Amino acid sequence: MATANLACWTQDRRAVKLLASCAALPPVYAECTSRYGNATDRWAEYVGYRVEALAAIRLEVGDELLRAYHRHGAEAYAAFGHWCEQPSASDAVAGVLAAHTRH
Convert the pLDDT of each residue in 36-89 to its tens digit: 999 999 999 999 999 999 999 999 999 999 999 999 999 999 999 999 999 999
Least confident of 19-23, 24-28, 76-80: 76-80
C-alpha separations of 91 from 26, 51, 65 in Å: 13, 10, 20
Distance of CA 21 to the CA centre of its chain: 15
13 touches 60 (CB < 8 A): no
pLDDT of residue 3 exceeding 60: no
